[in-house]
Structure 1
Amino acid sequence: MEINPNKAVYSLGIGLTNKCNLNCPHCYSRPMQQSDLGLADIKRILKLFPNLKKINFGTGESIFNKDFREIMDFFRKNNIQMALTTNGLTIEQLEDKYLSWFKDIDISIDFPNAKLHDKWRGQSGLFNLAIRGIEKV
């Protein structure tokens, strides 16, 4: 793949995994094979984007990628800002040190009340767990 040097990419969204702790009926990743990008994959991708300043980890719950902490450490050492998109349920599994490395953490709240959110997600109690994730951040 060739990148046009006149069109620098400064921000990139990437899915480190499509593994998730939920089974939302509306999710496009649900029927996919469960797979991860490893640190070697990330290093190859980063070479394509030498001007990269910010990365957003989305698609699936990144904490389920066995290399997630190592990948975060790699981006931090390369002075690339990190953001995380999550359903909020896995936030408590991340140590405060790693949470502090994120410039942005986006927690998906689909509706402004528990009943609608939980119905959309297909399981009761998820709204309150997402709120707990927000409170930890």
Structure 2
Amino acid sequence: MRLIRKPVLCNYYVTYRCNASCHFCDIWEKPSPYIELKDVEKNLKDLKKLGVRVIDFTGGEPLLHQQIDAFLRIAKKLGFITTLTTNALLYPKKAEALKGLVDMLHFSLDFADAAKHDEVRGVGCFDFVMKSIEIAKSLGEKPDILYTAMNENIHELEKIYYNICLPNNLVLIVNPIFDYNAVETGGGLTQENLHYLTKVSRWKNIYLNEAFIKLREEGGNHVDDPVCKAASSSIVISPKNELILPCYHLGKQEFPIQGDLYNLYKSDEVQKLAALEGRLPECEGCAINCYMQPSFAVEINRYFWKALPSTIKYNRLKGTWKNIF
């Protein structure tokens, strides 16, 4: 049964450019412009009219954009919940400007060992994460650590948890790796590692949407009975000021926004493509977290109930997601 019939999340790509080169991501390989302030301001107003509650300013590396604080300020003024994930290379320089503007601030960290983390990220950013934690706490911010769980680093979770998160009273967000396009991710997590993640998800200060695990155990999205509601629960905007459907990773079609996101999204052409969410051949087996998270929230099914306890837990820890609905 459909619970919410409007988009709740916008993945707003401020640029595809990145100052890292993570092996499990290909976004940084793409040439890209930067979004423009005038487009952001108009699009955010239209997103508000469409019912969106959460704006994820993403990339690439979102802090590469010189006006990222201005975008966040507009979003907060309009009443959006804001979220931003960074590799932390630029956070020490931008921390003061970002203070109070990001409701869910995530620092990416995949290894407790600096050399290993920097090797996976393709750049020396471990020390910047550690410095950024100190700076954020000194400013009264409550950052999270975003850990991408892979078979190659599963043993690092407890080191990050006990050595970094608990001493700093930070939430550890566990983000299971997912396959997409031709990106080499190692074939997804083993069953043993999925069971391990289920166990640790119950620990204090760890957030893992358990529906992610269930989805992987059941083979991901299935086109004959899709759980994916990417195009109807999320709106994706590119750095070129285009609406991307049905999602960023599949990106079947890009529609120039041209100053009228509201009517573009409501148009027959867009809605016909959106109606194919989860049913296209490429959607078979998909388990992309950033689109499954809102999909679990808008329709009551077995994934909704599986996701609910972890969602309540994060709400209790952070006090932000309660404002979505």
Return the TM-score normalized by structure 2.
0.37
Match status 1:102 vs 2:102: yes
Pick closer, same or farther for the CA change 1:97–1:84 going to 2, 3 Å. same
Match status 1:120 vs 2:120: yes
Q: Is the 8 A contact 1:23 1:122 kept in 2?
A: yes
* One-letter code aligned to 1:31: E
Which secondary structure state, in structure 1, belongs to the residue aligned with residue 28 of structure 2? coil
Q: Is the 8 A contact 1:75 1:82 kept in 2?
A: yes
Match of 1:133 in 2: 132
Report which of the two structures shows the higher radius of gyration computed on alpha carbons. Answer: 2
* One-letter code aligned to 2:125: L
Deviation at 1:134, TM superposition (A): 2.0
RMSD: 2.1
Task: Please identify which structure carries the higher helix content.
Answer: 2
Which secondary structure state, in structure 1, belongs to the residue aligned with residue 126 of structure 2? helix
Separation of aligned partners in 2, 1:95 and 1:126: 16
Separation of aligned partners in 2, 1:69 and 1:105: 13
Structure 2: gaps (5+ residues): 137-325
Deviation at 1:111, TM superposition (A): 1.8
Match of 2:86 in 1: 86
Structure 1: gaps (5+ residues): 1-5
Separation of aligned partners in 2, 1:75 and 1:94: 18
Match of 2:111 in 1: 111
Give runs of aligned pairs for residues 15-34 of structure 1, distance below 5 A: 15-34=13-32
Separation of aligned partners in 2, 1:107 and 1:89: 10
Q: Is the 8 A contact 2:27 2:59 kept in 1?
A: yes
Which secondary structure state, in structure 2, belongs to the residue aligned with residue 93 of structure 1? helix
Separation of aligned partners in 2, 1:103 and 1:12: 15
Separation of aligned partners in 1, 2:99 and 2:89: 14
Give runs of aligned pairs for residues 34-53 of structure 1, distance below 5 A: 34-46=32-44, 47-48=46-47, 50=49, 51-53=51-53
Deviation string for 1:62-109 (max 9, x for gaps)? 222233222122112111121111001111122435222111111110
Separation of aligned partners in 1, 2:108 and 2:57: 13
Separation of aligned partners in 2, 1:7 and 1:64: 34
Return the TM-score normalized by structure 1.
0.80
Q: Is the 8 A contact 1:9 1:49 kept in 2?
A: no
Separation of aligned partners in 2, 1:127 and 1:95: 17
Match of 1:73 in 2: 73
Q: Is the 8 A contact 1:29 1:60 kept in 2?
A: yes
Which secondary structure state, in structure 1, belongs to the residue aligned with residue 11 of structure 2? strand
Separation of aligned partners in 2, 1:100 and 1:48: 22
Deviates more, 1:106-115 or 1:94-103: 94-103
Separation of aligned partners in 2, 1:39 and 1:110: 33
Q: Is the 8 A contact 1:8 1:49 kept in 2?
A: no
Question: Percent identity between the aligned chains?
Answer: 24
Deviation at 1:55, TM superposition (A): 0.9
Deviation at 1:26, TM superposition (A): 3.9
